[in-house]
Amino acid sequence: MSEVREFCVKMRASRCGEHVSGAERIVDERLVPRAVAALAERALSHEKGSPDFINIKVEEPGEMVRLKALAVATNEVSTAVEGRARAAQLLAEAGVGRANEIMALFRESYSMRGAMLVDADTLERLEPDRERGVRATRMDAADTAVCGVFRGKNHFAEAVVLATKVANAPGIVGEVCVSDDPGYVTGYVAAKSMGYQRITVMKESGDPCGGRIFLYRGPREDVEKCIRFLERQSVIVEGAPSAPNAPGEVRLDGIARELDAIEQAGLSRSCRALRSPTGPTARVDVDGAMRDVVVLASNDYLDLARDPRVTGAAAAAAHAWGAGSGGSRLTTGTQPPHEALERRIAAFKGEEAAILYATGYMANVGVVTALAGKGDVVFSDELNHASIIDGCRLSGADVVVYRHGDMDELARRLAAARACRRRVVVSDGVFSMDGDILDLPRFLAVCRANDAFSVVDEAHATGVVGRTGRGLVEHFGCGHPDVTVGTLSKALGSEGGFACGAEIIVKYLRNRSRPFVFSTAPGAPAVASGEAALAVLEAEPWRVAALRENVAFFLGELAGHDVAARSESAIVSVIVGDERRAVKAAEALLREGFLVSAIRYPTVARGAARLRVAVMSAHTKEQLAAAAAAIARCGM
């Protein structure tokens, strides 16, 4: 195995000869390109303005010294005068006698690019080049080098790293530092003996002056040794905190490191607020400007979320029954709208009974954990939705994950598990990431032959699959699973989950399903809007047909651009592969006016990142054709 070398990557940026910013990393060779890019980006985006000269230097660090980060303490003060007095006091405590005079020296250090090196007792200036001063350089926090993790722009960690190196330099008895950032008034005094003492106010806000003073005590002939350590010795600092926590509070550090790793892997997620109701188009903030974009990422497939009949029902129910339900379904949380919706769902699905949950997620968790417990076995398709996976985990049952859609493997593994008390097979009806459909007739036959419970999650099937949107049973014209799970939050444009089946099973769920028993019932507005949406769907089956026609049209357009995709539902996946590329493609599409989701690990497997397009019945052919063309341009 060849050894991985480390490199020091150093960036200095200036404008008209004036220093703008500087930073450095020590990283292993595999991370050098990323470090160079990150530092270049940092130089170009500095708030002090854009530089006209960026110098990035990559060199072997030579022998490395590892140091433990100085402990951090915070001194709260309210004025700059108070802060400077506190700094002088701390220096005095550290054995530096002429502290006030040293603080006065600060005025001169402001114009310097490096630090002032001063004899702690005689206050004589010791740096060979007084214009330039002394620079502490060649250092980094340990995890950057060891874990290959970039802390990004963590000024605090960088400050502690620098102070730690300086405090450990031969002959240095202390350091005083004030930032040159006009908006940043916090400074510090540091020494090996007192650690890193943050002082919350060291200058007036708006003052661009800052600088540092290194205090030296020792023979003159050793000054050179001190400077060599500061400027040439490579140092790795272990345990530098990324935020100024109180002493001992390092718990946030691990969190910051993990977030950095997520960021680096292209897996960071954040919320984007829509500035309008959902619909085939919506208003979003794109790079700071409000724009109306075509939404190809919403599960509101039939455009019911903003339908006046649906929103009107929610408003009326809020007035009639209140906003919240005030209790779990088994206490005070059942009102006529809840009972009416359960009856309507059962009728729509052709089942004896239905049970409502606050979300589809809770419905899956509730059903799987109620049907299976310790000693039982759950058989779960490898591409099942996260809520099914979580239900399996919470159930305490043994879990057998079978290959996606492989009914032969399912049959074999069911047969092998015969002796077990209860066997439950659970599958998405429409798989939420690939948009393909479960072969329900075969699935049911395998379950029946092995006397196993069959559970099918129709979250993406309800309102989409089957001529009138009733789901897989309608599509295949076959029998029913023991339990059908669904949600009101997708094609029905509302909110809440459900399970339905025979009365005996639903009664069992009411007694055994913990998310039903121990969580507040959804409020009447959500419930009434769900029922109104179901009524619209029953009255207007043309919406389902329009959706299907749009999907077929969109697939045809993609094929015309040689983009491979297929779908049996409203979900069209275009596989991109690399996580960062998928995110870049989605960003490019947004700038072109199309909101499309980049789906990444852990939602799908690593390296199987994709653009996931959700088609709506209300999209126009023009919108879909333009979207397909844009995907061909940006996605591939």
Ligand X SMILES: *Cc1c(COP(=O)(O)O)cnc(C)c1O
As measured in angstroms, the least distance from the Cβ of 307 to ligand X is: 18
Q: Is 242 or 364 the residue whose CB approaches ligand X more closely?
A: 364
Whole-number Å distance between alpha carbons of 354 and 347: 9
Residue 148: C-alpha distances to residues 59, 105, 470, 502 (Å):
17, 40, 51, 55
Strand segments (E) across 296-389? 353-357, 377-381
Q: Is 127 or 434 the residue whose CB approaches ligand X more closely?
A: 434
Nearest to 188 by CA among 200, 180, 173: 200
Span from 3-11, 88-96, 353-361, 612-620 in contact with ligand X (CB under 6 A): 353-361
As measured in angstroms, the least distance from the Cβ of 482 to ligand X is: 17
Whole-number Å distance between alpha carbons of 191 and 391: 54
Q: Within 13 Å of residue 355, how many CA atoms lie on the same side as its CB?
A: 30
Cβ-based neighbour number of residue 335 at 10 Å: 20
Q: Do 161 and 178 form a contact (C-beta atoms < 8 A)?
A: no
Q: Tokens in use for 613?
A: 């397009």
Residue nearest to ligand X (CB): 360
Q: Contact with ligand X (CB under 6 A): which of 61, 187, 241, 360? A: 360
Span from 110-118, 346-354, 360-368, 625-633 in contact with ligand X (CB under 6 A): 360-368
Residues touching ligand X: how many (CB under 6 A)? 14
For residue 336, say if its preceding peptide bond is cis, omega within 30 degrees of 0: no
Q: Annotated catalytic, 490?
A: yes
As measured in angstroms, the least distance from the Cβ of 570 to ligand X is: 11
Q: Is 201 or 426 the residue whose CB approaches ligand X more closely?
A: 426
Whole-number Å distance between alpha carbons of 591 and 569: 27
Nearest to 525 by CA among 320, 379, 387, 382: 320
Q: Please, what is the Cα angle at 567 between 561 and 568, to 5 degrees?
A: 145
Q: Is 281 or 432 the residue whose CB approaches ligand X more closely?
A: 432
Residue 540: C-alpha distances to residues 190, 302, 304, 526 (Å):
73, 10, 11, 21
Q: Contact with ligand X (CB under 6 A): which of 242, 489, 567, 569? A: 489
As measured in angstroms, the least distance from the Cβ of 488 to ligand X is: 7
- Binders of ligand X among 411-440, rule CB under 6 A? 428, 432
As measured in angstroms, the least distance from the Cβ of 527 to ligand X is: 13
Q: Contact with ligand X (CB under 6 A): which of 387, 427, 529, 623? A: 387
Q: Is 113 or 404 the residue whose CB approaches ligand X more closely?
A: 404
Q: Compute the chain's Rg from CA coordinates.
A: 32
User: Is there binding between residue 364 and ligand X (CB under 6 A)?
Assistant: yes
- In the structure, how many helices (H) and strands (E) does the chain have? 20, 25
List 475, 490, 494, 617, catalytic entry: 490
Q: Contact with ligand X (CB under 6 A): which of 156, 301, 348, 361? A: 361
Q: Annotated catalytic, 432?
A: yes
Q: Is 186 or 359 the residue whose CB approaches ligand X more closely?
A: 359
Whole-number Å distance between alpha carbons of 588 and 566: 23
Q: Contact with ligand X (CB under 6 A): which of 497, 501, 515, 525? A: 497
Q: Is 240 or 455 the residue whose CB approaches ligand X more closely?
A: 455
List 460, 475, 480, 619, catalytic entry: 460
As measured in angstroms, the least distance from the Cβ of 571 to ligand X is: 9
Q: What is the dihedral of CA 431, 435, 439, 440, to 10 degrees?
A: 60
User: Is there binding between residue 380 and ligand X (CB under 6 A)?
Assistant: no
Question: What's the order of all strands across the beta sheet hosting 195-199?
Answer: 72-75, 195-199, 187-191, 172-178, 211-216, 116-119
Q: Do 99 and 121 form a contact (C-beta atoms < 8 A)?
A: no
As measured in angstroms, the least distance from the Cβ of 352 to ligand X is: 22
List 380, 432, 513, 569, catalytic entry: 432
Q: How many residues does the chain have?
A: 636
User: Is there binding between residue 385 and ligand X (CB under 6 A)?
Assistant: yes
Q: Is 300 or 351 the residue whose CB approaches ligand X more closely?
A: 300
Q: Is 240 or 389 the residue whose CB approaches ligand X more closely?
A: 389
User: Any residues with CB less than 8 A from the CB of 157 and at least 6 apart, and which?
Assistant: 141, 151, 240, 241, 242
As measured in angstroms, the least distance from the Cβ of 514 to ligand X is: 16
Question: Distance of alpha carbon 151 from its chain centroid, rounded?
Answer: 16
| Mask for 277-306, x = binds ligand X (CB under 6 A) | ------------------------------
| Mask for 444-483, x = binds ligand X (CB under 6 A) | -------------x-xx-----------------------
Span from 62-70, 354-362, 500-508, 526-534 in contact with ligand X (CB under 6 A): 354-362
Residues in contact with ligand X by the rule CB under 6 A: 359-361, 364, 385, 387, 428, 432, 457, 459-460, 487, 489, 497
Active site residue ranges: 432, 460, 490
